[in-house]
Amino acid sequence: GESATLPFDEHIDVVKETVAMASGAIPVIAGSGANSTAEAIFLTEQLGAVGVDGFLSVVPYYNKPQQAGMVAHFNAIANASDLPVILYNVPGRTVADMLPETVAELATHKNIVGLKDATGDIARLKQTQPLVPEDFVLLSGDDGSSCEFMCEGGHGVISVTANIAPKMCSDMQKFSKSEDKDEQKKAEEIDKILQPVHKSLFIESNPSPVKYAAKLIGLCDDNVRLPLVTVLEPTKTEVKKALLSANLINE
């Protein structure tokens, strides 16, 4: 998504339209994070009013908050609504890294129910697991390592590639959580097919490559808002090659 370049009124309208289109058939988790706690609370309150089922809230970017600052920030957000909140740790974009001990402290709040971990570090999953309750949801935010993440006890993935290959991503998740060895092997086979797609979608800053991939499969145009721009020709070549290799498009 391009939520970081949407003004608040448009951000709220997009979520409102999404809730209307989902029409209760699937849960809608809305991104309500911001680097200002007051703005994150405002978005949480506004999006809660349009009927979402929960929130995804990112570690504040640019500010580089201390771990204690993260605890105060997310507790304030979780206190602003009775809906569930999923924490989102993506230090590659925010610079600040939420440590497992901080996640464990936040997991004691009744409204904080899970974590999207986009570190791509399986060791981080293993460090977090024993510190949080069994029903605390651990989600990968890194497509490239998501199969291994789930095989190691993670619960799912919030995926970029699923915008382009939803059935394959869904099957990979389902099979990776199976106790059947043959189905686990299927998950590994799908993951192997998708690895070039995962890599191609991050050659340049997300979401520019995935918007181009979406254009190739006929979902939408590849326009993106400044400061991002459409991808360069070499990236287009790699994205197209990856989609062809996964049989997601035809020549």
* Pairwise CA distance, residues 94 & 4, whole Å: 12
User: Which has the closest alpha carbon to 99: 80, 75, 117?
Assistant: 117
The predicted-structure confidence for 143-190, as pLDDT tens digits, reads as follows 999 999 999 999 999 999 999 999 999 999 999 999 999 999 999 999
Amino acid identity, position 126: K
Query: pTM of the predicted model, to two decimals?
Result: 0.95
Q: Which of 42, 135, 45, 35 is nearest to 82 (CA)?
A: 45
Please give the structure tokens belonging to residue 22.
Answer: 């989902």
Catalytic residue numbers? 88, 116
In a 3-state reduction of DSSP, which class is residue 29? strand
Q: Please give the average per-residue pLDDT across 62-91, as a whole number.
A: 98
pLDDT recorded at residue 1 = 67
Listed in sequence order, the DSSP H helices in 108-153 are 122-128, 146-151
> 94 near 58, Cβ under 8 Å?
yes
Could you give the CA distance from residue 122 to residue 113 in angstroms, rounded to a whole number?
20
